[in-house]
Amino acid sequence: MPANLHVSLNNQVVFSTPVAEAIEIGRQQNDEPGPYCRLATDRDTRIIVANSTDTSFSRRQIRIEPADDGSFVVSNLSKAVAATVENEDVIEPSNQRTLKAPFVLIVGERAFRIEAEAEAMMSLANATMAPGRQNPLSTHFRSLAALRVGQEPADDEHLVEWLQGAMSVLQSAASSPDFLERAAQAVVNLVGLDTAAVLLWDGRQWNHEAVRARRGNVSANWQPSMTILEASRVQKRTFRHAPQQENAASLMGVQALVAAPILNPQGDVIGAIYGDRRQPPAAGNPVDITQLEAMLVELLASGVAAGLARMDQEKAALAERVRFEQFFTPELAEQLELQPDLLECKDASISALFCDVRGFSRLSEKLGPVRTFAWISDVMEELSECVQRYNGVLVDYIGDEMIAMWGAPVEQPDHATLASLAAIDMLRALQHLSEKWKRELGEDIQVGVGINSGVASVGNTGSKRKFKYGPLGNTVNLASRVQGVTKYLKSSILITGDTVAQIGPEIQRRRLARVRVVNIEAPVDLYELVAEADASWCQLRDRYEEALAFLERSEFLMATKCLGNLIAEHPDDGPSQLLLSRAVDALIDPDDFEFVWAFEQK
């Protein structure tokens, strides 16, 4: 007959395990874990109950083997330490006895009780329901009422008090972070148990999350019964332990136990509420846990299940929020939690921005690996702040390049303006960064920013394993090419004519050239943005665009004269220098001049 072994130390159960085959009990040997554990060996199943240094217990002390008639052959394997049966019968070293369950063996301070499993535990009639599959309170209320009619020893006032206490736990599970501790305390207070615990099952072992005792602190040696916990986990039912009553002496140090499983919404056991009630020495009062009390523990377990489900939902929402906030503003991340369908692939009118840090390879060689990481991280942090300050989406970081987007996942009618303002903000942020890193770099930090506006396909461009929300299509490709042109046109920010068409006059810009970029056949007009468009720059812009108009009309001499005078006053203006070079070439060989400037490289 299947049985259970309960190991007690100083009248406190510290370990429980089933006994279905021969077991050997002993102290820790070489390479064995410490107490309390169960090990499968080639010879027997070993139960470790003492450390290797505890010489009051032998390495191989007791062997218990079930017999066919339901009895147990108990062998004292020790050559020096005797074992005592509860009736004071001594099993000398190297001797054995045949005993009927239940019985207790005593070796030193430890007691070992064997009891039949069928006599030890009873389950409630119905399997525990997962949260969300029924209304636990109404179901249990009906069961409690039925038991009341069936003359369970509880009056109406006690029933109300129990239900009020249970409701308090259910309410805390919905709102309080310490609901596990409250649940353990409620089991002690409402059911009248000596010790109660909330344990969580991680797939391999039970972990104590909250333990409460009726009087004082929980004993350092306290351990729940693995037998009743495993029965509750495997069968998904609430079990209660019913100790034998016919022999009061055999109840010394034995507990009445209850374990109610905690299920997740899928019906899997993820934990348990466990409690015990101990038999005081020499006391004759029964310690049995009634069916009514077991049902109340199960009701509390349902409350804990609801609370854990809430915690899982909050953790999932937090993880989703953290994932979103890597790319989106906090406000947009919150909206996406409520409307995740906004992230589905769709066509949208957007502005794409590419920003590249100039001279990265050269500067990283000067800084070395460690300082390069610190520097580029500092730069990207500042640039990212500029994007999110203007409600943009951080699409990706590729080495020394950052990609951002406006216009999705929610519509932004002013996406071109926002992208342009963010780019200008980047130039202002670099002034502070350049001062911070000037000593190590020996020069100012410079970037090239390209912006283009148009329709793109937007969605998760990554995979199920790695989320990356961003745009795809010709609009994006052109923005990348425009960023590459910034170094040839000696400008920090270039935007396309499609972007200019969507921004207001408050954003000052200068038309620089009409170009054809790599792998894109249609020519595009490029405009420059600057951090500070003061009166001097506006005058420069007007005179530059006048010269550009002369060049467009093939008035090469006039264009050359205008640009010559302009450079005399603004010798550091890179675009004017380049345009003068082109005007001179056109003046020398007008038949070979192409107003559309073709770039063969990215």
Query: Looking at the domain assignment, is residue 322 inside a domain?
Result: no
Q: Do 67 and 161 fall into the same domain?
A: no
Query: Looking at the domain assignment, is residue 319 inside a domain?
Result: no
Q: Do 365 and 342 fall into the same domain?
A: yes
Q: Note the pLDDT of residue 78.
A: 92
Give the integer Cα–Cα distance in Å for 197 and 210. Answer: 5
Q: Note the pLDDT of residue 286.
A: 61
DSSP secondary structure string, 186-231? HHHHHH--SEEEEEEE-SSSEEEEEEEESSSSPPTT----HHHHHH
Q: Do 544 and 435 fall into the same domain?
A: no
Domain that holds residue 32: 3-118
Threshold 0.85, pTM exceeds: no
Query: Looking at the domain assignment, is residue 457 inside a domain?
Result: yes
Domain end call among 254, 286, 313: 313
Give the integer Cα–Cα distance in Å for 13 and 221. Answer: 8
Q: Do 153 and 142 fall into the same domain?
A: yes
Query: Looking at the domain assignment, is residue 318 inside a domain?
Result: no
Q: Note the pLDDT of residue 141.
A: 43
Q: Do 399 and 280 fall into the same domain?
A: no
Query: Looking at the domain assignment, is residue 463 inside a domain?
Result: yes
CA angle 14, 17, 20 (to 5 degrees): 155
Look up the CATH number of the domain holding residue 22: 2.60.200.20
Question: What is the per-residue burial (b if ≥16 Cβ within 10 Å, else e) of 197-212?
Answer: bbbbbeeeebeebbbb
Residue 440 has pLDDT above 60, yes or no: yes
State the total domains in the chain: 4
Q: Note the pLDDT of residue 177.
A: 63
Find, among 84, 1, 77, the residue nearest to 46 by Cα. Answer: 77
Q: Do 105 and 198 fall into the same domain?
A: no
Max Cα separation, the chain?
124
pLDDT category of residue 246 using cuts at 50, 70 and 90: very low
pLDDT average, residue stretch 419-429: 96
Domain end call among 470, 497, 531: 531
Residue 260 has pLDDT above 80, yes or no: yes
Look up the CATH number of the domain holding residue 161: 3.30.450.40
Q: Do 234 and 350 fall into the same domain?
A: no
Q: Are 209 and 200 in contact (CB under 8 A)?
A: yes
Joined tokens for residue 374: 């610190």
Joined tokens for residue 62: 């007791």
Q: Do 434 and 345 fall into the same domain?
A: yes
Query: Looking at the domain assignment, is residue 275 inside a domain?
Result: yes
SS3 473: coil
Q: Note the pLDDT of residue 316.
A: 66
Give the integer Cα–Cα distance in Å for 107 and 92. Answer: 11
Q: What would the pLDDT profile of 328-355 be if each residue is shown by its tens digit? A: 777 677 777 667 777 788 999 999 999 9
Helix or strand holding residue 462 (H, E)? none
Domain end call among 510, 531, 552: 531
pLDDT average, residue stretch 364-379: 93
Give the integer Cα–Cα distance in Å for 355 and 372. Answer: 18
Q: Note the pLDDT of residue 245.
A: 46
pLDDT average, residue stretch 259-279: 88
Give the integer Cα–Cα distance in Å for 531 and 10. Answer: 79
* 136-149 vs 291-325: helix crossing angle, rounded to 10: 170
Q: Do 179 and 297 fall into the same domain?
A: yes
Q: Do 301 and 177 fall into the same domain?
A: yes
Give the integer Cα–Cα distance in Å for 16 and 49. Answer: 11
Q: Do 107 and 146 fall into the same domain?
A: no
- Specify the DSSP class assigned to residue 345: -
Q: Do 285 and 377 fall into the same domain?
A: no
Query: Looking at the domain assignment, is residue 362 inside a domain?
Result: yes
Secondary-structure percent of the chain, ordered helix, strand, coil, rounded to 5: 40, 25, 35
Query: Looking at the domain assignment, is residue 55 inside a domain?
Result: yes
- Token pair 């934990």 is found at 271
